[in-house]
Amino acid sequence: MAFELSPLPYAKDALAPHMSAETIEYHHDKHHRAYVDTLNELVAGTALAERSLEDIISITSKDAAKASIFNNAAQTWNHDFFWRSMRPNGGGEPTDGDLLSRIDRAFGGFDKLREAFAEAAKTEFGSGWAWIILDRGKLKVIKTSNADNPIAHHQVPLVACDVWEHAYYIDYRNRRPDFVAAFLDHLIDWEYAAQNLAHHVARKAA
Ligand code: FE2
pLDDT above 90 (res 85): yes
**Model pTM above 0.75:** yes
In this prediction, residues 58-63 reach a mean pLDDT of: 96
Cβ atoms of 190 and 92 within 8 Å: the answer is yes
> How much distance in Å is there from the Cα of 104 to the middle of ligand 1?
30
Q: How far is the CA of 129 from the centre of ligand 1 (A)?
A: 9
Domain extents for the chain? Answer: 21-84, 97-205
Mean pLDDT of the chain: 97
CA of 146 to the centre of ligand 1 (A): 10
List pLDDT tens digits, range 168-191.
999 999 999 999 999 999 999 999
Per-residue pLDDT of 121-167, as tens digits, reads 999 999 999 999 999 999 999 999 999 999 999 999 999 999 999 99
Secondary structure element (H or E) that encloses residue 139, with its range: strand 138-145
The matching CATH number, chosen from 3.55.40.20, 3.20.20.140, 3.30.465.10, 3.60.20.10, for 97-205 is 3.55.40.20
pLDDT band at 102 (very low <50, low <70, confident <90, very high): very high
pLDDT (mean) for 27-56: 98
Which band of pLDDT confidence, cut at 50, 70 and 90, is reported for residue 86? very high
Ligand 1 center to residue 97 CA distance, Å? Answer: 31
Q: Left, alpha or beta for 134 (phi > 0: left; psi -120 to 50: alpha)?
A: beta
pLDDT at 80 over 90: yes
In the chain, the percentage of residues whose pLDDT exceeds 90 is 99
Give the separation between CA 139 and CA 187, rounded to whole angstroms: 21
Residue 1 has pLDDT above 80, yes or no: no
DSSP codes of every residue in 42-108? HHTTSGGGGS-HHHHHHHHTT-GGGHHHHHHHHHHHHHHHHHHTB-TT--S----HHHHHHHHHHHS
- Is it true that domain 21-84 has CATH number 2.130.10.10? no
Cα-to-centroid distance, 27 and ligand 1 (Å): 6
Asked if 88 and 189 count as a contact pair (C-beta separation under 8 A), the reply is: no
The backbone torsions φ and ψ at residue 141, rounded to the nearest 5 degrees and listed phi first, read -105, 130
For 8-22, b where at least 16 C-beta lie within 10 A, e where not — what string?
Answer: beeebeebeebbeee
CB atoms within 10 A of CB 202: 9
Number of H helices, E strands in the chain: 9, 3
